[in-house]
Structures are given as structure tokens and as C-alpha cells.
Structure 1
Amino acid sequence: MTATTSPARPQGTDVVELIAPDGAAAAISLHGGHLLSWKPAGAAEQLYLSPRSEFAPGKAIRGGVPVIFPQFSDRGTLPRHGFARTLPWELVSSEQGKGDALAVLRLRDSDATRAIWPHAFELELSVRIGGRELDIELACENTGETRFQFTTALHTYLRVADLDAVSVEGLSGLRYFDSVKQAEALQRMDLLLTGEKGVLDLDRIYFGVKERPLLLAEDRRQVVIRQLGFEDAVLWNPGPERCAKLADMPPEGWSEMLCVEAASIGRPIELQAGESWVGRQSLALL
């Protein structure tokens, strides 16, 4: 299995198609090292991908799983969410095993990245599928001679049929920063309801999630979300008003997605020369 040009992706985007022996499938764009699609064995699409994404050089893809590095949002001097999601990545390997399929992509520093972030690094993104599970692993190595810090996230857009029927469980007792209200608060209820019946225009960074599992439920559908190496988690939905202002998303797109992101934001990751860090997000459709 190698990178192919798919007619379904505008602008001739190079896409790696993964198919496991049991029929689980995924598609990964080399533009941004971006997971576009995940279909578990015997199940429908689990990720939201905006039909208005531009798929153009230098532009971020809206939906799927963008790689946020080395800066989350506008918490720094770099472009919003850094540069990894808008650069071309290299395909290292793509293979089918006895019970799964795996692709590995790589991004290294360049003249363009060093012009705005003067550090030598190597990112490696591994995507593994099989059965009803998806593992996304992001590794960063400091290949330079001086230390650096970064914040990062796997900005996972989960597809939903009815946002009003969606809840997220497992956040009770966590402190969070509400980016809409620009204030910190404590999550007192274990169940977070979204949509018109719960929270609209949702943009929260939950701190200290670490290895705590989260459960996204929608009617009979349940997705267990686990993370390792990431300290925090972000929950995001733009709501109708903000969504209407996003040129790369249809006005009703907010009602079809919910972002649950593995992230390290509150305490930046610091790597000395030669050191590495690894973070993983795992999703399982029950």
C-alpha cells in the first residue's frame, strides 16, 4: 500500500489508504499528516470532514484529525495551531498485518519552519487500525543542540448524527479553561451534555486528564477515548453563530461534529537535545 492520488480529494492531494484484514479502513493525507477518515470493521464513518475543506497548499484541512504542533491555538507567537497541519509530510511505511493496518508518516524541520521557530525536530505520526479500534501516536524528537518547548494536540473531529443526543462522560472534578468565557471553572457533573439541550459554542481545555478514559455516547453508539502521554483534553464545537463565520465549514456543520482532542497545553512539553516525547490517542467503538 502506497500513497495514491484520490479523485475524492480536491487539488490532487496525496492520500494513504489503509485497509485491515477485517475491513477496517482509514485514509491519511500527506498534506498535514492528516487523518481524514476512519471506518471501523462493519461500521460507518466515525470522523467528520468538512465538505468545504480547501485541500490547498498552506491551508489547514477542516475535520478529521489535524496535528497541532508546536503551538496550540493562539497561545504564542506562531501561526494559530502551529505549522505541522499545513506542511507536506513524508510517508515512511504503510503495511497490512495479520489483524491490523499501520501507516507511519514523518515531518522534519526545514528552512521554512526554522524561519519562524528556530529548532531542529522530527515528528513521527503512526496510525493503526483494526477491528473497531484506532490508535494515533505522535512522537517528537529534539534533533538539535538546544532545548525547546512545545504544546500539541490531536484535534479529533468525531462525527455525530444529532448533537442534542451526545454526552461526554468522565470529566467530573477536572479544572478547565473556558475559551469562550475566558474564565476557569470546575467540572462538577460527570456528564457533559452538548447541543441545544446542553452547551453550545463549546471550547474548553480540561487540565490533568492524563490517562482518564472518556466516553462519548450518542443514543446506542458509544466511543471510548483514551490517551497516553498527553496531559490535557480539549472539547470543541463552534455552535451555529461561530460556525456561520467559518468559510471552510457549512453553516450546519456544527451539528454534525464534536471535537474531543488529546492535548498537552497547560504545561508545555520540554525536550533537551536528543530527547523524545510520545503521545497517543486511542478510540474504540463499542
Structure 2
Amino acid sequence: MSHSGAEKEGKAGVEVTKDRNGVDQVVLRNKRGDSARVSLYGGQVLSWKNERGEELLFTSSKAIFSPPKAVRGGIPICFPQFGNRGTLEQHGFARNKMWVIDDNPPPHPSTDSNVKSYIDLLLKSSEEDLKIWPHSFGFRLRVCLAADGHLTLISRIRNVNSKPFSFSFAYHTYFSISDISEVRVEGLETLDYLDNLHNKERFTEQGDALTFESEVDRVYLDSSNKVDILDHERKRTLGIRKEGLPDIVVWNPWEKKSKTMVDLGDEEYKQMLCVDGAAVEKPITLKPGEEWTGRLDLSVVPST
């Protein structure tokens, strides 16, 4: 089979559609029947389903799909900041900008050559962005769906400024779970974390697994590159692997905070858990012409 034939067959796994507001979305599929859906609004993955059609990401039933609101769910991209700092809106502006499909991406050493179902998106600083954050950048995002159903997001951010700039970053991933009281997170043992519910005070994780009985909003620092969410009731483990992202953010708003959020149902906190690959505590600094890469690999495996 010729190389061009292979390319053609690969692109069959990529389809561009529109959502109800006319915003372009890209649907990725593999031969096994897994799928992922990415909106060009925010470069946001909104859906990731396994071969049985089960949704692995959470999106609120009350999510607002009309710009300029960011969608509550999926994987919002938080750049150039995570959280609230300075004059920028919470979690930065990348998640509520229109991205474009990058028809001419530079070569990607980090993508396995057998991954055919992927899309490259591009966000460039606009005049409007430069007013609120005066740094020119190019942000390339590749979203890949592998043959085994793994979902990979690779962000490449380049400084096209004449002076250095710094940013923080997170893949703010909303996972769909059976029940927040029934899941546990492994891979955070003995780590220091900043607790956003206690003025960012620093604590050390004492448990051998993280379980949930109240609101949690923490940044685990210098975490290992492998964290797992064990969902006993659904008999599956959601695996999170990361590169270039030192921290892990863990968030669940619980009952009281959920009631204050217009785009989250009062009881929906039970079905969601955010575990983010992130760079929060120590911002990333890029010199002129320098590029940073942050990679997230998500997998799901049956567990007992």
C-alpha cells in the first residue's frame, strides 16, 4: 500500500461538523469505535467515548454553549493563567477564543506514526488579547485518538515576542464518574499540596489514596507523571499521564458551591471529578523564540 493511501485511510477518522451555534467541531474516531469531539471554540475537547459509546468526560446538563462563556465540562485549556491573578479573567483567555484548524503543522516528533485520527489547532495572539496580555505567542494544540482509545493532547506554546514571558497552564479535565463518594485517586501519596480552601496554605498528603467527602480544591506539587482515578462501581480506572506539567490540580465543588454555579446542576458534583495536569506553582518562562511542550495522555482500563 502506498504512503498516500495510508494517509487517506487515516483521515477517514476525522470529520468536521458544526454545533447548534454554528461553531465548528472536529470528531475523531478509531477503527475500534472510540471517539472524541473537539470544539474550535476554546480548542476544547467536549467528549471522549470508549468503544461501547460510554462517555468518559463529564459535561454539565446546564453547560452554556454560547460564546463568550466557557463550557462547563470536557477539557478546557487554561492559558496563560490558571486561577485568578492580576487583571486576566480566571483561567485565562484561551478557553473562550476561536481556534483555527492548522493545515500546515510543523513535524511532531512526539506523535506515534500509527496514530491516524488527530487534529491540529492553532491559536495566535489577537490585537484584543495583546491589550490584556501584551505578549505575542503561537499556541499549537494536537488532539489524538489512538487505536487503543487513548486520548492525547499536546500543547506547544512558542514565544514570538522580543522579550521573555511567563504563564501558568492546566488541562482542566472533568472526568465522568459513578459517584464522588465511591472513587479514589492514587499517585498523590506523600506529596505537598497547596489548599485553595485554606488560603493556598501548604500541606502534605497523608493518605495512601485520596477519597472524597467534602469540597476539594488542591494543587499537588511536583507530582509523578502517573495518576489514576479508580472508579469501583464502574469497574474502570482512568489513567492520567503527563509530560512538561509538574503539578496536579484536584477539584470537586461539592454541594454548597454547586448551588452557586449557574452552569452546574445542584447534584451534578456527584458525577464529576477534575484531575488536571498543570503548571501552577512555578510559572513557565519562555525566552524569545523558545517553545514549551505540555502533554497529557488519558486512558481507561477495566479494573476490579
TM interval, short-chain normalised: over 0.9
Counterpart secondary structure, 1:240 = helix
Between the aligned partners of 1:139 and 1:190, the Cα distance in structure 2 is 34
1:219-234 equivalent positions in 2, closer than 5 A: 219=232, 220-234=235-249
2:300 maps to which residue? 285
In structure 2, relative to structure 1, the CA distance for the partners of 1:45 and 1:175 (3 Å cut) is same
Q: How far 1:88 moved relative to its partner?
A: 0.3
1:117 maps to which residue? 133
1:147-226 equivalent positions in 2, closer than 5 A: 147-182=164-199, 183-194=201-212, 198=213, 200-211=214-225, 213-219=226-232, 220-226=235-241
The reply on whether 1:11 has 2:25 as its aligned counterpart is no
Does the 8 Å contact 1:3/1:91 carry over to 2? Answer: no
The one-letter amino acid of 1:23's match is G
Between the aligned partners of 2:143 and 2:43, the Cα distance in structure 1 is 10
Q: What do residues 206-233 of structure 1 show as CA deviations (whole Å, max 9, x unaligned)?
A: 010152x111001121111111000101
The one-letter amino acid of 2:168's match is T
Report the structure number with the largest CA radius of gyration.
Answer: 2
1:27 maps to which residue? 37
TM-score, L = length of structure 1: 0.93
Between the aligned partners of 1:222 and 1:43, the Cα distance in structure 2 is 16
| Runs (5+) with no aligned partner, structure 2 | 1-13, 105-112
State the aligned residue count: 276
The one-letter amino acid of 1:120's match is S
1:134 maps to which residue? 151
Does the 8 Å contact 1:13/1:31 carry over to 2? Answer: yes
The one-letter amino acid of 2:139's match is L
Does the 8 Å contact 1:21/1:100 carry over to 2? Answer: no
Between the aligned partners of 1:71 and 1:81, the Cα distance in structure 2 is 5
Q: How far 1:99 moved relative to its partner?
A: 5.3
Between the aligned partners of 1:2 and 1:189, the Cα distance in structure 2 is 44
TM-score, L = length of structure 2: 0.87
| Runs (5+) with no aligned partner, structure 1 | none
Q: How far 1:54 moved relative to its partner?
A: 1.5
Does the 8 Å contact 1:214/1:224 carry over to 2? Answer: yes
Counterpart secondary structure, 1:265 = strand
The one-letter amino acid of 1:124's match is R
1:254 maps to which residue? 269
Higher alpha-carbon deviation: 118-127 or 176-185: 176-185
The one-letter amino acid of 1:141's match is R
Instruction: Find the partner of 2:99 among 82, 85, 89.
Output: 89
Q: What do residues 7-32 of structure 1 show as CA deviations (whole Å, max 9, x unaligned)?
A: xxx42332111111221100000000
Q: How far 1:77 moved relative to its partner?
A: 2.5
Does the 8 Å contact 2:192/2:205 carry over to 1? Answer: yes
Between the aligned partners of 1:206 and 1:160, the Cα distance in structure 2 is 21
Counterpart secondary structure, 1:203 = strand
Between the aligned partners of 1:93 and 1:2, the Cα distance in structure 2 is 14
Extract structure 1 runs of 4+ deviating beyond 2 A. 10-13, 40-43, 97-100
Between the aligned partners of 1:46 and 1:58, the Cα distance in structure 2 is 25
Does the 8 Å contact 1:21/1:98 carry over to 2? Answer: no
Counterpart secondary structure, 2:197 = coil
